[in-house]
Chains A and B, each alone.
Chain A
Amino acid sequence: NAGVTQTPKFQVLKTGQSMTLQCAQDMNHEYMSWYRQDPGMGLRLIHYSVGAGITDQGEVPNGYNVSRSTTEDFPLRLLSAAPSQTSVYFCASSRPGTGTYEQYFGPGTRLTVT
Protein backbone atom coordinates (compact mmCIF):
# COMPACT_ATOMS: atom_id res chain seq x y z
CA ASN A 1 0.00 0.00 0.00
CA ALA A 2 1.22 3.50 -0.84
CA GLY A 3 -0.87 4.93 2.04
CA VAL A 4 -1.72 8.61 1.60
CA THR A 5 0.01 10.40 -1.27
CA GLN A 6 0.08 14.11 -2.01
CA THR A 7 1.26 16.11 -5.01
CA PRO A 8 3.03 18.38 -5.50
CA LYS A 9 5.59 18.43 -2.66
CA PHE A 10 6.39 22.11 -3.22
CA GLN A 11 4.57 24.90 -5.04
CA VAL A 12 5.06 28.63 -5.49
CA LEU A 13 2.09 30.68 -6.64
CA LYS A 14 1.50 34.32 -7.35
CA THR A 15 -1.33 36.13 -5.62
CA GLY A 16 -4.59 35.49 -7.47
CA GLN A 17 -3.55 32.26 -9.13
CA SER A 18 -5.56 29.10 -8.59
CA MET A 19 -4.34 25.55 -8.19
CA THR A 20 -5.33 22.12 -6.96
CA LEU A 21 -3.47 20.08 -4.37
CA GLN A 22 -3.94 16.39 -5.00
CA CYS A 23 -4.50 13.74 -2.33
CA ALA A 24 -5.10 10.03 -2.78
CA GLN A 25 -5.27 7.04 -0.45
CA ASP A 26 -5.38 3.33 -1.20
CA MET A 27 -6.57 2.08 2.19
CA ASN A 28 -10.29 2.32 1.39
CA HIS A 29 -10.75 4.86 4.19
CA GLU A 30 -14.11 6.56 4.33
CA TYR A 31 -12.86 9.68 6.09
CA MET A 32 -10.45 12.14 4.48
CA SER A 33 -9.41 15.59 5.56
CA TRP A 34 -7.18 18.53 4.77
CA TYR A 35 -5.15 20.47 7.34
CA ARG A 36 -2.87 23.43 7.16
CA GLN A 37 0.04 23.83 9.53
CA ASP A 38 1.47 27.21 10.41
CA PRO A 39 4.31 27.89 12.87
CA GLY A 40 3.09 27.85 16.48
CA MET A 41 -0.49 27.00 15.52
CA GLY A 42 -0.54 23.24 15.20
CA LEU A 43 -2.70 21.74 12.47
CA ARG A 44 -6.04 23.28 11.63
CA LEU A 45 -8.82 21.44 9.82
CA ILE A 46 -9.80 23.02 6.49
CA HIS A 47 -12.34 20.59 5.01
CA TYR A 48 -13.24 17.00 5.54
CA SER A 49 -15.25 14.23 3.91
CA VAL A 50 -16.97 11.26 5.51
CA GLY A 51 -17.42 9.46 2.21
CA ALA A 52 -17.69 9.86 -1.54
CA GLY A 53 -20.03 12.70 -2.45
CA ILE A 54 -20.03 14.18 1.07
CA THR A 55 -17.87 17.10 2.16
CA ASP A 56 -18.07 19.64 4.95
CA GLN A 57 -16.18 22.60 6.34
CA GLY A 58 -13.67 22.47 9.13
CA GLU A 59 -12.21 25.26 11.20
CA VAL A 60 -10.62 27.36 8.43
CA PRO A 61 -12.46 26.71 5.13
CA ASN A 62 -12.41 30.19 3.55
CA GLY A 63 -10.56 30.36 0.25
CA TYR A 64 -10.60 26.60 -0.31
CA ASN A 65 -12.91 24.18 -2.10
CA VAL A 66 -12.98 20.39 -2.03
CA SER A 67 -14.78 17.59 -3.80
CA ARG A 68 -14.95 13.85 -3.22
CA SER A 69 -16.07 12.01 -6.33
CA THR A 70 -14.35 8.75 -5.36
CA THR A 71 -13.34 7.09 -2.10
CA GLU A 72 -9.67 7.35 -3.08
CA ASP A 73 -9.27 11.00 -4.05
CA PHE A 74 -9.82 14.24 -2.16
CA PRO A 75 -8.38 17.28 -4.01
CA LEU A 76 -8.12 20.70 -2.39
CA ARG A 77 -8.59 23.70 -4.64
CA LEU A 78 -7.29 27.18 -3.90
CA LEU A 79 -9.59 29.54 -5.75
CA SER A 80 -7.52 32.74 -5.72
CA ALA A 81 -4.28 32.33 -3.80
CA ALA A 82 -3.37 34.88 -1.14
CA PRO A 83 -0.13 35.29 0.86
CA SER A 84 -2.07 34.24 3.99
CA GLN A 85 -2.40 30.79 2.42
CA THR A 86 1.35 30.24 2.57
CA SER A 87 1.56 27.13 4.70
CA VAL A 88 2.24 23.41 4.77
CA TYR A 89 -0.81 21.39 3.77
CA PHE A 90 -1.42 17.86 4.97
CA CYS A 91 -4.01 15.43 3.75
CA ALA A 92 -5.11 12.66 6.10
CA SER A 93 -7.42 9.69 6.04
CA SER A 94 -8.94 7.35 8.57
CA ARG A 95 -11.51 4.64 9.03
CA PRO A 96 -13.83 6.08 11.69
CA GLY A 97 -15.13 2.73 12.86
CA THR A 98 -16.26 3.30 16.43
CA GLY A 99 -16.04 7.03 15.98
CA THR A 100 -12.40 7.60 16.71
CA TYR A 101 -10.29 9.16 14.04
CA GLU A 102 -6.74 7.83 13.93
CA GLN A 103 -5.36 9.95 11.14
CA TYR A 104 -2.89 8.67 8.55
CA PHE A 105 -1.06 11.63 7.06
CA GLY A 106 0.38 12.26 3.63
CA PRO A 107 3.88 13.76 3.26
CA GLY A 108 2.62 17.32 2.92
CA THR A 109 2.72 20.11 0.33
CA ARG A 110 4.70 23.24 1.09
CA LEU A 111 2.94 26.16 -0.58
CA THR A 112 4.33 29.67 -0.90
CA VAL A 113 2.18 32.50 -2.23
CA THR A 114 4.04 35.65 -3.26
Chain B
Amino acid sequence: EDKVVQSPLSLVVHEGDTVTLNCSYEVTNFRSLLWYKQEKKAPTFLFMLTSSGIEKKSGRLSSILDKKELFSILNITATQTGDSAVYLCLSSGSARQLTFGSGTQLTVLP
Protein backbone atom coordinates (compact mmCIF):
# COMPACT_ATOMS: atom_id res chain seq x y z
CA GLU B 1 0.00 0.00 0.00
CA ASP B 2 1.33 3.43 -0.96
CA LYS B 3 2.19 5.68 1.94
CA VAL B 4 3.11 9.35 2.32
CA VAL B 5 4.15 10.68 5.72
CA GLN B 6 4.66 14.34 6.52
CA SER B 7 6.45 15.77 9.50
CA PRO B 8 6.08 17.62 11.70
CA LEU B 9 2.29 17.52 11.97
CA SER B 10 2.29 21.10 13.19
CA LEU B 11 4.80 23.87 13.63
CA VAL B 12 4.60 27.28 15.26
CA VAL B 13 7.28 29.85 14.43
CA HIS B 14 7.75 33.61 14.50
CA GLU B 15 7.98 35.87 11.50
CA GLY B 16 11.44 35.83 10.01
CA ASP B 17 12.21 32.24 11.01
CA THR B 18 13.18 29.58 8.47
CA VAL B 19 11.22 26.33 8.41
CA THR B 20 11.77 22.93 6.82
CA LEU B 21 8.85 20.63 6.15
CA ASN B 22 9.42 16.97 5.43
CA CYS B 23 7.64 14.44 3.23
CA SER B 24 8.66 10.80 2.95
CA TYR B 25 7.02 8.38 0.58
CA GLU B 26 6.74 4.70 -0.23
CA VAL B 27 5.07 4.51 -3.62
CA THR B 28 5.22 1.97 -6.40
CA ASN B 29 5.52 3.38 -9.92
CA PHE B 30 6.59 6.74 -8.53
CA ARG B 31 6.46 9.56 -11.09
CA SER B 32 6.47 12.84 -9.20
CA LEU B 33 6.01 14.55 -5.88
CA LEU B 34 3.94 17.69 -5.60
CA TRP B 35 3.61 20.28 -2.86
CA TYR B 36 0.44 22.24 -2.19
CA LYS B 37 -0.54 25.06 0.17
CA GLN B 38 -4.02 25.01 1.69
CA GLU B 39 -5.50 28.03 3.46
CA LYS B 40 -9.01 27.04 4.55
CA LYS B 41 -10.04 26.45 0.95
CA ALA B 42 -8.85 24.43 -2.02
CA PRO B 43 -5.17 23.44 -2.17
CA THR B 44 -3.04 25.58 -4.45
CA PHE B 45 -0.08 24.19 -6.33
CA LEU B 46 3.47 25.09 -5.26
CA PHE B 47 5.98 22.70 -6.84
CA MET B 48 6.26 19.51 -8.81
CA LEU B 49 9.44 17.46 -8.45
CA THR B 50 10.39 14.59 -10.70
CA SER B 51 14.19 14.45 -10.55
CA SER B 52 16.50 13.98 -7.61
CA GLY B 53 18.73 16.79 -6.47
CA ILE B 54 17.26 19.58 -8.57
CA GLU B 55 16.00 22.40 -6.41
CA LYS B 56 12.85 24.22 -7.38
CA LYS B 57 12.52 27.79 -6.12
CA SER B 58 9.76 30.34 -5.99
CA GLY B 59 10.57 33.44 -3.98
CA ARG B 60 11.15 32.40 -0.37
CA LEU B 61 10.01 28.84 -0.99
CA SER B 62 12.20 26.04 -2.29
CA SER B 63 11.92 22.29 -2.53
CA ILE B 64 14.08 19.33 -3.41
CA LEU B 65 13.54 15.63 -3.97
CA ASP B 66 15.76 12.68 -2.98
CA LYS B 67 14.60 9.61 -4.92
CA LYS B 68 17.21 7.39 -3.33
CA GLU B 69 16.12 8.11 0.25
CA LEU B 70 12.48 8.65 -0.82
CA PHE B 71 11.82 12.03 0.67
CA SER B 72 11.32 15.66 -0.18
CA ILE B 73 11.70 18.84 1.82
CA LEU B 74 9.99 22.19 1.50
CA ASN B 75 11.92 25.17 2.85
CA ILE B 76 10.42 28.55 3.63
CA THR B 77 12.84 31.33 4.53
CA ALA B 78 12.00 34.63 6.24
CA THR B 79 8.51 33.39 7.07
CA GLN B 80 5.56 35.78 7.07
CA THR B 81 2.13 35.51 8.68
CA GLY B 82 0.72 34.91 5.19
CA ASP B 83 2.65 31.63 5.06
CA SER B 84 0.36 30.22 7.76
CA ALA B 85 -1.42 27.29 6.13
CA VAL B 86 -1.48 23.53 5.83
CA TYR B 87 1.21 22.27 3.48
CA LEU B 88 0.38 19.04 1.69
CA CYS B 89 2.58 16.74 -0.32
CA LEU B 90 1.19 14.41 -2.96
CA SER B 91 2.98 11.47 -4.50
CA SER B 92 1.93 10.76 -8.05
CA GLY B 93 2.34 7.40 -9.72
CA SER B 94 -0.31 6.00 -11.99
CA ALA B 95 -3.80 7.47 -12.34
CA ARG B 96 -4.90 5.49 -9.29
CA GLN B 97 -1.80 6.14 -7.23
CA LEU B 98 -2.32 9.65 -6.00
CA THR B 99 -1.56 9.68 -2.31
CA PHE B 100 -1.61 12.74 -0.12
CA GLY B 101 0.17 13.09 3.17
CA SER B 102 -1.89 14.32 6.12
CA GLY B 103 -0.24 17.72 5.96
CA THR B 104 1.84 20.02 8.14
CA GLN B 105 -0.02 22.86 9.85
CA LEU B 106 2.30 25.88 9.86
CA THR B 107 1.46 28.85 12.07
CA VAL B 108 3.59 31.97 11.76
CA LEU B 109 3.19 34.42 14.63
CA PRO B 110 3.85 38.15 14.19
Interface of B, helix, strand, loop or mixed by DSSP: strand
Q: Residue A75 at the B interface, CB < 8 A? A: no
Q: Which residues of A contact B31 (CB under 8 A)?
A: 98-101
B41 within 8 A of A: yes
Note all chain B residues with C-beta closer than 8 A to A99.
31-32, 92, 94
A90 interface residue, CB < 8 Å from B?
yes
Q: Once bound together, how far apart are the Cα atoms of A105 and B38, in whole Å? A: 11
Contacting residue for A42 out of B41, B45, B103, CB 8 A: B103
CA distance A107 to B34 in the complex (A): 19
**In this complex, what residue of A is CB-closest to B9?**
A40
Interface size class of A (residues with CB under 8 A): 20 to 34
CB pair A56 B95 closer than 8 Å: yes
Query: Are B41 and A108 neighbours in the complex by a CB distance under 8 Å?
Result: yes
Out of B34, B36, B94, B100, which one reaches A44, CB within 8 Å?
B100
Evaluate contact between A103 and B34: CB separation under 8 angstroms: yes
Give residues 58-107 of B contacting A (CB, 8 Å).
Answer: 88, 90, 92, 94-96, 98-103
Do residues B32 and A100 form an inter-chain contact, with CB atoms below 8 A?
yes
CB-nearest residue of chain A relative to B29? A99
Q: Which residue of B lies closest to A106 (CB)?
A: B42
CB of B53 closer than 8 Å to a CB of A? no
What residues on A are CB-neighbors of B41 within 8 Å? 107-108
Residues of A within 8 A of B94 (CB): 99
CB-based closest 9 A-B pairs: A105-B42, A100-B32, A42-B100, A42-B102, A43-B100, A101-B92, A99-B31, A50-B95, A105-B43
Please name 16 further chain A to chain B contacts, defined as beta carbons within 8 Å, in addition to the given A103-B98, A108-B41, sorted by A numbering. Answer: A40-B102, A42-B88, A42-B100, A42-B102, A43-B88, A43-B100, A56-B96, A57-B96, A90-B43, A99-B94, A100-B48, A100-B50, A101-B98, A102-B48, A103-B90, A106-B42
